Chain A
Amino acid sequence: MKTVGNILLALLLAMAVSWPTAAQRYSVGTDGIGWMSLGAVNADASIAVGRHASLHAGAALNPWTYYRQDPDRQMQARQMNFWGGIRWWPWHVYSGWWAGLDVQYRVYNVGGMWGKRETEEADTYGGHLWGGYSMMLSEHWNLDIGVGAWGGWKKYTVYSCPICGDPLEQGSKMFILPDARLAIQLIF
């Protein structure tokens, strides 16, 4: 994981220092709100397919378990997340307002947070509808802000604590959740 992080950082730095002055058609970025979710490493990339459209794909990984030695305090928001979709830019790709549509697969195990011991483990399949604004910070950097909702179907198991193997509830159901994004992006 460390190696992947280093490569990504080196790539970002190389792009930021210098880039040919052709049209900018690609972006890579990472979402700050994702990192706040107990340090989920995340990255996304995109390619412009026209003045008004771009294709996006990304992944997030959170393998971390906190307070593993103390069963009463252990918490985790482990997940593996993959998504891909399209964005529509009314003015121009990577500039200004946008609306997006993604499909997403997520598997997670989240529990022990907010004073609750229940832990949920699930496989989710769904779609993501959102919109936002890409603020141009400089020639190569954007601040990408977005809000939306993602929803779909999930197959889940709820355990009474993060380390318990005793399921309280099991099943599958539809869900819909709000989502937000505050990402820094390199445009090249």
Chain B
Amino acid sequence: MKQADTVFLLAAVAVTIAFLPACGPMRKIETIRQKELAATLALSRNEIQEERKVIAVSHRDTITVKDDSGKEMLIMKAVKDESSGEMVAHDVIDAAVITARFRNVAERHGRVDLRFEIIVPESMQDSRWQLRFRPHMYILGDSLQLESVYITGEDYRKRQLRGYEQYERFLRSIITDTTRFIDLRNLEIFLERNLPEIYYFKNDTSYVSDDQFASYYGVTEKQAVEHYTHWLLYRINERKKGRKELMYHKYVRAPIETEGIRLDTVLRNLNGDFVYAYTQTIATRPKLRKVDIVLGGDIYESDRKLYQMERTEPLTFYISSMSTLLDPSERYMTRIVERRAAANTACYVEFEQGKAEVKADLGYNREELSRIRGNILEVLENQNYDLDSIVIAASASPEGTLAHNHALSAQRAASVAAYFDKDIRHYRDSVRRSGFTLNVDTDGREHVGRLEIPDIQFHSRSNGENWEMLSLLVDQDSTLSPKDKYTYLKHLEISDWDQRESALQKEPFYRHLREELYPRLRTVKFDFYLHRKGMIKDTLHTTELDSTYMRGIALLKEREYEKALECLRPYRDYNTAIACVSLDYNASAMAILQELERTPAVNYMLAVLYARHNDDEKAVQCYLDACRADRSFVFRGNLDPEIYILIQRYGLNREDDPFEPAS
């Protein structure tokens, strides 16, 4: 009986010892559950301290400003004394505990930095646990999970690493070199005995087919290799390969995550609350006014979730953007429209030696003439312009006399003019016969009607020998040597063109000029002279919406500040200043605004800029001027941190403030 008692006692002790390590965390979890402990979200204390630092450095509790009648007044932070009812000066006392659940943040460069702190109480931390915090952002009706913050206990991480080591060992046990499955020693002896030809080729890389060599009894090298392969080992190895995933999950039960994690820190010692300063930068977008941040989280032991925290109350960020202050008024510009217009093209029409007749079948004439015809019809059918005349000028290559060439090019120009005159008349007749066409009038309205092709005047002109073009072609020619080009330039000094050509004929490179470059000089140039349809005066001044400026406004609304500034920079107006302020180009913005009339909006912008330069006096003056003229800036001031600090520092916008404009 006594012995049985002892056994029972020992068993109880053993069970207690076995479960003892598990008791601690479980009791801790129970406490956390009972107290509903959770990490908290708070506004970034650094930011608050920064604000205080500004106050401490440039703290001036009294400044002088002018009222709307120009009279100087002192302004200072004051409160109403409850006993006397008088306003008395009030010292700034920083709050010991910040409990604010919202903050105004300013968008700059199209981005907003949301700064907050995740505070984890010490009682939630344990060496065996991993705390996984997931901040959620609510923005314009969407919910977005931000990168998580993991706080990992030392023992938890050791367990994770041990799992990885075990998996690593498993991976190392997998054989990757397949030759290790072959009993090479026995294979080699076997080959030496039975397939000596193969054995002697063992260091030769040349390919020998399996059937070429077989043993006396028909055994091939492949069969020998298969026989001396340890298939059991091979199969075990293959099985291991197939179990990689399974073994990973077996050993690494709680993997170390790297994706979507902002921080995974290992706590060596529990030493008070853990605070992580979280900064999330978001790109602003139209209509974005506020962002809520909520924190959720879990406690894990290995892969087991022990506890799920309640979501925190939201932390709200109100986002102010300078772009909401833009002036959306339309802007117009005057455009001058010229009546006359011109266009030209050139073509290469080949002629028979010394002849001027246009022959479509010669060389590439058919393609060239077809192209020109297309060009002429394109101009004729243009909805905006009428074709007045076409001047056709032919050029000749320099071989032959100048007089002959001049006459010949004149004849050729006339010949081409006649060719197209006839062609266009034919086309016009065919259009008339075809009936109706779709026309667009000068106002852009479409209507069915007859396409009227007016008479076109073709004028022909001779451009004579085209030495100018020849010089250009020689300069660009890669076949001619620098010496040839120099010689050519020397010949250009001969003023008589016929003598010049005779001199060139004696040069060795003349053949190249004659065969390669001269044909390109026989061009026919077409100049089209047009006028704007329905326009009688030579120039017209028209007022239309300034599309560049309006595009700048649109970009400003979309918070594409860099692109907006590109459009708006030349205008140097209020909207340009807004783009500059948004991009922190404060000096440029200041220079623009100081040139403008002092509207409430201009004053407000100046207040922001002065505040950025720590010139509180001018900033308050401009802000109050803006508020007097437009009460909406009273509320707007709370949204921009630069003005908000001024309001707090000097107690502006109080109902009993003598500067406060009557509502």
Contacts and interface: CB of A to CB of B under 8 A. Distances in A.
A161 interface: no
Contact of B217 (A21, A23, A137, A139): A23
Contact of A138 (B189, B216, B218, B219): B189
B31 interface: no
B230 to A, nearest CB: 13
Contact of B194 (A23, A137, A138): A23
Contact of A22 (B189, B216, B219): B216
B218 to A, nearest CB: 7
A25 interface: yes
B192 interface: yes
9 contacts: A22-B216, A25-B216, A51-B217, A51-B219, A92-B194, A92-B217, A95-B186, A95-B190, A138-B189
A92 B215 CA distance: 11
A92 B194 CA distance: 10
Given A91-B227, A136-B186, A24 B217 contact: no
Interface string B588-631: 00000000000000000000000000000000000000000000
Given A23-B193, A91-B227, 7 more contacts: A23-B194, A24-B193, A25-B216, A51-B217, A92-B190, A93-B217, A139-B189
B121 interface: no
A167 interface: no
A187 interface: yes
A94 B218 CA distance: 15
A21 B197 CA distance: 9
A50 interface: yes
A24 B186 CA distance: 16
Interface residues of B, number: 13
Contacts of B186: 95, 136
Contacts of A93: 217
Contacts of B215: 23, 51, 92
A91 B227 CA distance: 8
Contacts of B255: none
B314 interface: no
Interface string B180-202: 00000010011011101000000
Contact of B193 (A51, A91, A139): A139
A187 B216 contact: no
A22 to B, nearest CB: 7
A137 B190 CA distance: 10
Nearest to B197: A21
Contacts of A24: 193-194
Nearest to B200: A21
Given A50-B217, A51-B219, A92-B219, A136 B194 contact: no
Contacts of A92: 190, 194, 215, 217, 219, 227
Nearest to A92: B219
Interface in A1-60: 21-25, 50-51
Interface residues of A, number: 18
Contacts of B190: 92, 95, 136
Most A C-beta atoms less than 10 A away, residue of B193, B217, B219: B193
Nearest to B224: A92
Interface of B is mostly: helix
A94 B186 CA distance: 12
Contacts of A50: 217
Interface in A120-156: 136-140
A138 B219 CA distance: 19
Interface string B556-571: 0000000000000000
Nearest to A135: B186
A23 B193 CA distance: 7
Interface string A90-109: 01111100000000000000
Given A24-B194, A92-B194, A136 B189 contact: yes
Contacts of A51: 215, 217-219
Nearest to B191: A139
Contacts of B193: 23-24, 94-95, 136, 139-140, 187
A134 to B, nearest CB: 11
A22 B189 CA distance: 14
Given A92-B190, A136-B193, A139-B193, A23 B216 contact: yes
A19 to B, nearest CB: 10
A140 to B, nearest CB: 8
A187 B219 CA distance: 18
Interface string A56-70: 000000000000000
Interface string A146-188: 0000000000000000000000000000000000000000010
Contacts of B216: 22-23, 25
A183 to B, nearest CB: 18
A95 B186 CA distance: 9
The 9 A-B residue pairs whose C-beta atoms are closest, nearest first, are A23-B216, A51-B217, A21-B196, A136-B189, A139-B192, A24-B193, A91-B227, A139-B193, A136-B186
Contacts of A139: 189, 192-193
B199 to A, nearest CB: 9
Nearest to A52: B217
Interface in B105-156: none
B543 to A, nearest CB: 102
Interface string B204-241: 00000000000111110000000100000000000000
Contacts of A136: 186, 189-190, 193
Contacts of B227: 91-92
A139 B185 CA distance: 11
Nearest to B192: A139
Contacts of A138: 189
A50 B217 CA distance: 7
A35 to B, nearest CB: 26
Contacts of A23: 193-194, 215-217
Interface in A60-95: 91-95
Nearest to B185: A136
A22 B194 CA distance: 7
Contacts of A25: 216
